[in-house]
Chain A
Amino acid sequence: EPEVTQTPSHQVTQMGQEVILRCVPISNHLYFYWYRQILGQKVEFLVSFYNNEISEKSEIFDDQFSVERPDGSNFTLKIRSTKLEDSAMYFCASRETGTGTYSPLHFGNGTRLTVT
């Protein structure tokens, strides 16, 4: 069964550094999402992406975050200048349809980001 893949599985970075988290969604999926989960807390929505543009973003998704689909397969989340509070598990998800008719979400295994 096709899977959403995320790399790396764990990334350690110093405060102020830029990080790029990578995701390869399932190939025929059109809607892509980034979520984060701070240890012990609820999963939080960051951003959704459709038709090569952001369709919705949360208050968390401020100017230090950006997303890109640089080619036909990858979907990246960039954090420009990491802060200690960015330490979390970041999940990528994709789905075939996301408006009108809906399909299940498929999640990657997550990237654990540790900012020191």
Chain B
Amino acid sequence: KNEVEQSPQNLTAQEGEFITINCSYSVGISALHWLQQHPGGGIVSLFMLSSGKKKHGRLIATINIQEKHSSLHITASHPRDSAVYICAVDTYSNYQLIWGAGTKLIIKP
């Protein structure tokens, strides 16, 4: 079983829809990251959080430490949001992050 699981693997939605991507993890973490990988390949860090909720523009990330679960929400989705969204966690025992497999999001106009 993977230590970081994301769902769904693929998501296609219409422009304007509210999007939710989920991440569950089975290890103790010190921080959780949401990353975005564009079709061109570049990876951008969207959020790093260890509790509560963070918001940046139309993106919202939440984490529930007790339930070992995080969600990434996109409000008023737009075709430019089409990308792969990756959840990754920092643990106290590793220098490197443990990565989820990613969620491929396609927003249709």
Q: Which residues of A contact B (CB under 8 A)?
A: 31, 33, 37, 42-43, 45, 48, 50, 55-56, 58, 89, 91, 93, 98-99, 102-107, 109-110, 112
Task: Select from chain B the residue with minimum beta-carbon distance to A54.
Answer: B95
Q: Which residues of B contact A (CB under 8 A)?
A: 30-31, 33, 35, 37, 41-45, 48, 50, 86, 90, 94-97, 99, 101-102
Partner of B90, one of A42, A56, A102, A107: A102
A105 touches B97 (CB 8 A): yes
4 closest pairs, A vs B, by CB? Answer: A107-B43, A56-B95, A48-B95, A104-B45
B99 touches A42 (CB 8 A): yes
Whole-angstrom distance between the Cβ of B17 and the nearest chain A Cβ: 26
A89–B38 Cα distance when bound, in Å, is 13
A89 touches B90 (CB 8 A): no
A1–B24 Cα distance when bound, in Å, is 32
Q: List 13 A-B contacts (CB under 8 A).
A: A45-B96, A45-B99, A48-B96, A56-B94, A58-B96, A89-B41, A99-B95, A103-B48, A105-B35, A106-B45, A110-B41, A110-B42, A112-B41
A43 touches B86 (CB 8 A): yes
Query: Which residues of the other chain, A, contact B101 by a CB distance below 8 angstroms?
Result: 42
Query: Which residues of the other chain, A, contact B86 by a CB distance below 8 angstroms?
Result: 43
A37–B38 Cα distance when bound, in Å, is 13
Interface centre among A33, A43, A103 (most CB of B within 10 A): A43
Query: Which residues of the other chain, B, contact A55 by a CB distance below 8 angstroms?
Result: 95
A33–B94 Cα distance when bound, in Å, is 13
A112–B95 Cα distance when bound, in Å, is 25
A89–B41 Cα distance when bound, in Å, is 8
A55–B90 Cα distance when bound, in Å, is 15
Whole-angstrom distance between the Cβ of B75 and the nearest chain A Cβ: 22
Query: Which residues of the other chain, B, contact A104 by a CB distance below 8 angstroms?
Result: 33, 45, 48
